[in-house]
Amino acid sequence: MKKNFIWSLLFLSIISTTAISQNQNDSILILKSDSMNIIALEGKAAFIKDSINLFGQIDERFNQLIHNKDKPTQNIKIKEFTLSKDATFSDMFKFLDLNTCVLTQNQICQICIQYKKKLKSNSFNFFLFKEINSYYVAIVTTGSGDIFKIEPKSINDSGRYFARRELSLFIPVKE
């Protein structure tokens, strides 16, 4: 009983630093890393137009999503999470305030450059972003060398992702 209490306190302290809702019992996200700092960015990169050397394969659906370059951003902190059980995107993000969890395309590019060793080479790396008033998940996988493949999926996509694959979700946090 004492062990359960200590684990509960530890879990609550971790969750309180994230954008995850207060209903922790239903959350399927598990904290995987300490905070990572992302510097303020000018907002110049867009996946298709400016990052072709970083992203060797960019899914054609991004052509429909990319219209403008991102706005400048401030310094932020992100944390890496994984799944405690199999889930859809709706399951993964249902306890989060989506507006506080989105990253810009430029920030996603920066994370891929700055933290490429943290990205899973044998699995999926998820980043939430918003374009044209809709939410999407950028699925980034690594290829040969330092080249990434990126594919957009609607947050409403019904595909199920398996926890055993050790997926990574990168989410901005307030500390």
Cβ–Cβ < 8 Å for 56, 149 = yes
Cβ–Cβ < 8 Å for 108, 140 = yes
Give per-residue burial for 43-71: e unless 16+ CB within 10 Å, then b.
bebbbbebbeebbeebbeebeebbeebbe
According to the model, what pLDDT value does residue 48 have?
Answer: 46
| pLDDT level of residue 10 (50, 70, 90 thresholds) | very low
pLDDT in tens, 132-154: 788 999 888 876 666 677 788 88
